[in-house]
Amino acid sequence: MLNMKIFIDSGNTDEIREAHDMGLVDGVTTNPTLASKSGKVFKDLIMEITTIIDGPISAEVVSLTAPEMIAEGEAIAAWHKNIVVKVPLIAEGLKAVKHFTEKGIKTNVTLCFTGSQALLAAKAGATYISPFVGRLDDISTEGMQVIRDIRVIYDNYGYETQILTASARSPMHFLEAARIGSDVITAPFAVIKQLLKHPLTDSGLKQFLADWEKAKK
């Protein structure tokens, strides 16, 4: 059994560096929204991330036809050996994934919302599937149920596509993803930091230090 991997979902290199220094980050996911927030040229941003994290870094294509996605994805993949080409879960995207798989280029199929979509992505050869659990919760649907469904489907047939729980918004998403056996979870730095917090840790530490000071007098 492999370790559960934690990716940071971010285009902010300061927070990627800080999370890396805490020993928490196995990889990075970005999307066009996060990349645009960074204010950096996309290639510059991705290349800077490669200097911080030695692990899979997802960089998303923004074309809508397979030939364009293939050209864009091949160019992105050539930037660095750790790049994973992120492709939307649409018919043209699956054609591009099939091509990338045949060429040995790793892919992350994104904007997945159902187990059946995940099955199609696995059949096309996706390296990672990214089901967006938070966005399902947003529309009163249990996002984590999709992770359970995909785990069963992939295990039933031995698909090697890794489940990358995405759009994680809370420590409970983490806990549940780990219980289910999601291969990877990606989350913003703020959520990763929330995992650390417990009021009894803070109050216990405060008490220990106060007692230590008293004993010294």
Residues with catalytic annotation?
86
CA distance 192 to 2: 20
Per CB under 6 A, the list member of 12, 20, 27, 29 interacting with ligand G3P is 29
Q: How many helices (H) and strands (E) does the chain have?
A: 11, 8
Q: Is 31 in the site for ligand G3P (CB under 6 A)?
A: yes
Place of tokens 């405060």: 206
- The count of residues interacting with ligand G3P (CB under 6 A) is 10
- Please identify, using beta-carbon distances, which residue of 128 and 154 lies nearer to ligand G3P: 128
Q: Supply angle C-alpha 67, 68, 72, rounded to 5.
A: 120
* 3-class DSSP assignment, residue 72: helix
Helix (H) or strand (E) holding 75: helix 66-77
Q: Is 10 in the site for ligand G3P (CB under 6 A)?
A: no
Q: In the bound complex, what is the minimum distance in angstroms from residue 52's beta carbon to ligand G3P?
A: 18
Q: Is 189 in the site for ligand G3P (CB under 6 A)?
A: no
CA distances from 104 to 54, 101, 127, 139, 148 (A): 19, 5, 10, 36, 28
- Please identify, using beta-carbon distances, which residue of 117 and 167 lies nearer to ligand G3P: 167
Range 104-133, binding ligand G3P (CB under 6 A):
130, 132
Q: Is 45 in the site for ligand G3P (CB under 6 A)?
A: no
Q: In the bound complex, what is the minimum distance in angstroms from residue 67's beta carbon to ligand G3P?
A: 26
Rounding to the nearest 10 degrees, give the CA dihedral for residues 185, 187, 190, 195.
-10
- Please identify, using beta-carbon distances, which residue of 71 and 137 lies nearer to ligand G3P: 137
Q: Which two tokens stand for residue 158?
A: 């031995």
Binding residues for ligand G3P (CB under 6 A): 9, 29, 31, 130, 132, 134-135, 166-167, 186
